[in-house]
Amino acid sequence: MVFVKGLPLDHPRIGELQAEAAIAPFVPAFAPRLLWREEAGGWLLLCFEGANASAWAWFGKAAATTWSRSPQPCAS
């Protein structure tokens, strides 16, 4: 299981996502491992190891398109 999140590069909070990607390698004891980071089509996407959670969101066609165009497979 993986968890992918992202923001448009011009989003006001993009710095938070960039910071999360930058520190991810240094917090493996208490955070999911960052599997990949990709900037494409004006978006920053981060793929993390799956986390146990009960809530999820479906973002419709945009999410399906992003998933189908993923440049790298997630490590299992």
Q: Using the 8-state DSSP alphabet, how is residue 75 labeled?
A: P
Number of Cβ atoms within 10 Å of the Cβ of 8: 11
Q: Which of 49, 4, 53 is nearest to 27 (CA)?
A: 49
Distance CA(23)–CA(40), nearest Å, equals: 21
Q: Return all residues near 2 (Cβ < 8 A) that are at least 6 apart.
A: 35, 47, 48, 49, 50, 74
Q: Is the pTM of this model over 0.75?
A: no
Grade residue 76 by pLDDT with cuts at 50, 70 and 90.
very low
Distance CA(72)–CA(57), nearest Å, equals: 22
For 15-48, write each residue's pLDDT tens digit.
Answer: 999 999 999 999 888 888 999 999 999 999 999 9
